Amino acid sequence: MIERLYEVFATPRPRVVDFCDHCVDAASVAPFTEVPLRRLTSEHLGEFWLRSGTIGDETFVRYLLPRVMELIAAGELDADFFWLRLVTDAHENGDSDERAAIEAYFLATPPALAGLVTGRLDDLPPDGRTAAWLRGPEPLAVLEEAALTEPDPDGAFSEAHLGLEAHRSK
């Protein structure tokens, strides 16, 4: 599933990454042009998160997306609003292969799916592709299974399952 993300979002490593030199120092941006994508760490990506809007463009986000999703799946990045917004924007605007890869990712990564439902569901265009996909049976089944079988000390899977049930009834 992760390999498929790298395939469908394949973008060459940038030679140059635009950034605001008043907000960001060149040393913070250097890893994005020097370090292979799969070796970027959560700390590298954290620099992008902290400086959102002052580093890169849409092509740069597309380049980073598979690594972001891999690190979320590995538990090295939180499935927070910022990262999930990047993923849902790619889903909304992507072609059928990109959408299918993102959907497979969410179905295989219940913590990311729960984060999407609890953190982004209300902000999604109600008639958009992501909201429509979430009304299908697979996301609900994944969250139900996770709530019943996986450790869920803070109730995230149960909360997301309930939220998705409410979304589906709209």
Q: Residue-wise pLDDT tens for the chain (170 aa)?
A: 899 999 999 999 878 776 766 666 777 777 888 899 999 999 888 876 655 665 667 888 899 999 999 999 999 988 888 888 889 999 999 999 999 999 999 999 999 999 999 988 888 888 899 999 999 999 999 999 999 998 887 889 999 999 999 888 77
CB distance 72 to 112 below 8 Å: yes
169 domain residue, yes or no: no
For 59, the domain range is 1-77
Assess if residue 163 is contained within a domain. no
Round to whole Å and give the CA distance between 104 and 130: 13
Please give the torsion angle defined by the CA atoms of residues 28, 35, 10 and 115, in that order, rounded to the nearest 10 degrees.
-60
> Per the structure, how many domains does the chain have?
1
With a threshold of 0.95, does the pTM exceed it?
no
Residue 28 falls within a domain, yes or no?
A: yes
Domain assignment of residue 33, yes or no:
yes
